[in-house]
A and B are shown apart, each in its own frame.
Chain A
Amino acid sequence: MKEPKLGTALSSEDFKKKRVFTTSYKPKAEYAWDTGFAIGHYLEGLKEGKLLARSCKKCGRILIPPRAFCELCFRPTDDWIELEHTGTINTFSLCYITWDMRKLTDPVIPSVIEIDGATEGCGIMHMIGGVDPKAIQVGMKVEAVWKPADEREGSITDIKHWRPIL
């Protein structure tokens, strides 16, 4: 191979001290997504303090997040199933950075939680809280901690977090 062609490095100082010309722009990108049948009901369920799944009678799976069609059997799903508010930690992480790269002293704890009553391995992403981060293990049993009914909006954050069952 030859020497790479271009790719001239600039430093962040070059920008701050305006040694290079720049142009900036803030995009205005706003959307209102139709939640549709499945997720629409899921969110309504969350507002009512329920965790809803959909069943597919053909493969026998009970699916959360719920979907209007089974992606493996390729047919409409059949029934709404209300699940328990408990589950098992499939995996987790202690994160010391926010989504926009600011540092945190106390970590936020994302996790994949397999929900009891759903097909094995069917989980949702949510947060762990109310526990010393060092104590968390894969395989721990957890339960949902909900916001009070008058604070719930029909959002995934209607569940505040999940904490270990003592």
Chain B
Amino acid sequence: MTGNVAIIGCGYSPVRVTTPEVSYRELTFEAASRAYADAHISHEEIQALVCCEEDFFEGVSISDEYTPDQMGCVLRPVETVTGDGLHGVGVATMIIQTGEIDIVAVEAHSKASNILTFDHITEYALDPIWNRPLGFHPEFVAGLEMNCFLNESGLSVADCDVIAAKNRRNALLNPIAAYPARLSADDIANSPDLCTPLRQGHVAQRADGVVVLVLASEKLAKKAERPVWIRGTGWANESPTLESRPWGEDAATKAAATIAYKEAGIKSPSKEIDRFEVDDLYAYREAMALTALDAGKVGDRVNLSGGSIGMGHTLDAIGLYRTAMCVEAIRNGDAKTALAHSWRGVPTTSVALSIFSVNHG
């Protein structure tokens, strides 16, 4: 039966372009220590763990082998989901709602700095029969999508320049962000073309980091200091086949939002949600996401953290960084209800989102 679940602990490392002095396991140990301290629990109280990772990001096959130790979860129910951290939040919430388990940790990390051939690995995700033989740089997918979206929405490339500049500037006020910069829309417009209309300045740059969350059932969360309630979760996929996609819209986000909004009882997102941390791996994706989330006119309540463009693209950890930013905003009283959303990047259509609130339902 669906029950109320809350985040009772949150720990992360600052997002950094490189982290050469620590292995990813050591970095994760630090983030987990912080999260467990924040939740006022010992590692032994974690009853299950959900990790979010991909083999070819790690450079290891069956990378889930290496997950339990640095989380203090040896011989516990530990699983890996190949998804964004927000998929992990959705899964962990369901685990608690089965009624069998009360406390679940969620972990995701990025050591993007250790991946020497990232674009080749992205190409390795393209369809081997129909797409790879064309030999395009894989970001052509984003260029195609952006072009179609701008045509259908009436937005312009200049609008995307504004989004990118905003997110770099927002990062100036976020102490954990890796790419803060006082840039203007003109600065973005003057950056080189990549796959037009995509410009280099529109693309989030990669970074390293780890986030660990601790989720708890209502009966435990009620005793916590500052629980942040998970009011709704949703995730979905569109067609993996490039040739079958509706290029101008984010149908997957729409499907995911339908589920999450229903769970959260939200009918008018722009009125009921105070803060949005949505995907901006490419600047146009922020606008596309807001449209799909039915939150088109929310102005300055979007990606105050700096988003991926300002914080850094931390691969499948980005959804948990967005979540951490929402959690802090709610705990500080800057927001009552916040939404975090992620997309897993080219060439996927995977999205996941969660809605958090100071109030439980």
Interface residues of A (CB under 8 A from B): 23, 25, 27-40, 67-69, 71-72, 74
Q: A34-B23, A34-B24, A36-B21 are in contact. Are A68 and B115 (CB under 8 A)?
A: no
Cross-chain contact of B25 among A31, A36, A40 (Cβ < 8 A): A36
Q: A40 vs B115: C-alpha distance in the bound complex, in angstroms?
A: 18
Nearest CB on A from B314, distance (A)? 15
B1 at the interface (CB under 8 A from A): no
Report yes or no: A37 in contact with B70, Cβ–Cβ below 8 A: no
Report yes or no: B133 in contact with A27, Cβ–Cβ below 8 A: no
Q: A25 vs B132: C-alpha distance in the bound complex, in angstroms?
A: 9
Q: A30 vs B124: C-alpha distance in the bound complex, in angstroms?
A: 13
The size class of the interface chain B forms with chain A is 35 or more
Most buried by A among B20, B36, B133: B20
Report yes or no: B111 in contact with A34, Cβ–Cβ below 8 A: yes
Report yes or no: A32 in contact with B114, Cβ–Cβ below 8 A: yes
Q: A28-B120, A34-B114, A36-B25 are in contact. Are A71 and B59 (CB under 8 A)?
A: no
Q: A14 vs B25: C-alpha distance in the bound complex, in angstroms?
A: 45
Q: A1 vs B133: C-alpha distance in the bound complex, in angstroms?
A: 40
Most buried by B among A23, A38, A71: A71
Cross-chain contact of A29 among B21, B29, B56, B128 (Cβ < 8 A): B56
Cross-chain contact of A72 among B19, B20, B56, B74 (Cβ < 8 A): B74
Knowing that A34-B20, A68-B25, A74-B32 are A-B contacts, what are 18 other residue pairs whose CB atoms are under 8 Å apart, sorted by A's residue number?
Answer: A25-B132, A27-B120, A28-B120, A29-B56, A29-B59, A33-B23, A34-B22, A36-B21, A38-B26, A67-B25, A67-B69, A71-B68, A71-B69, A71-B72, A71-B74, A72-B74, A74-B36, A74-B44
Write out the residue numbers on chain A whose beta carbons fall within 8 Å of the beta carbon of B114.
31-34
B117 at the interface (CB under 8 A from A): yes
Residue of B nearest to A39 (CB): B23
Write out the residue numbers on chain A whose beta carbons fall within 8 Å of the beta carbon of B115.
31
Write out the residue numbers on chain A whose beta carbons fall within 8 Å of the beta carbon of B42.
74
Nearest CB on B from A89, distance (A)? 24
Q: A103 vs B260: C-alpha distance in the bound complex, in angstroms?
A: 56
Nearest CB on B from A28, distance (A)? 4
Write out the residue numbers on chain B whose beta carbons fall within 8 Å of the beta carbon of A23.
128-129, 132-133
Nearest CB on B from A107, distance (A)? 25
Report yes or no: A28 in contact with B21, Cβ–Cβ below 8 A: no
Q: A29 vs B124: C-alpha distance in the bound complex, in angstroms?
A: 9
Q: A30 vs B117: C-alpha distance in the bound complex, in angstroms?
A: 6
A-B contact pairs, 27 of them (CB 8 A): A23-B132, A23-B133, A27-B121, A28-B120, A29-B124, A31-B116, A32-B114, A33-B23, A33-B59, A33-B114, A34-B22, A34-B111, A34-B113, A36-B21, A36-B24, A37-B21, A38-B23, A40-B23, A68-B23, A69-B26, A71-B68, A71-B72, A71-B74, A72-B74, A74-B32, A74-B33, A74-B43
Q: A91 vs B33: C-alpha distance in the bound complex, in angstroms?
A: 35
Q: A38 vs B117: C-alpha distance in the bound complex, in angstroms?
A: 26
Contact bitstring B76-94, A, C-beta under 8 A = 1, else 0: 0000000000000000000
Nearest CB on B from A67, distance (A)? 7
Write out the residue numbers on chain A whose beta carbons fall within 8 Å of the beta carbon of B113.
34
Q: A29-B56, A29-B121, A74-B43 are in contact. Are A36 and B132 (CB under 8 A)?
A: no
Nearest CB on B from A74, distance (A)? 4
Q: A152 vs B241: C-alpha distance in the bound complex, in angstroms?
A: 49
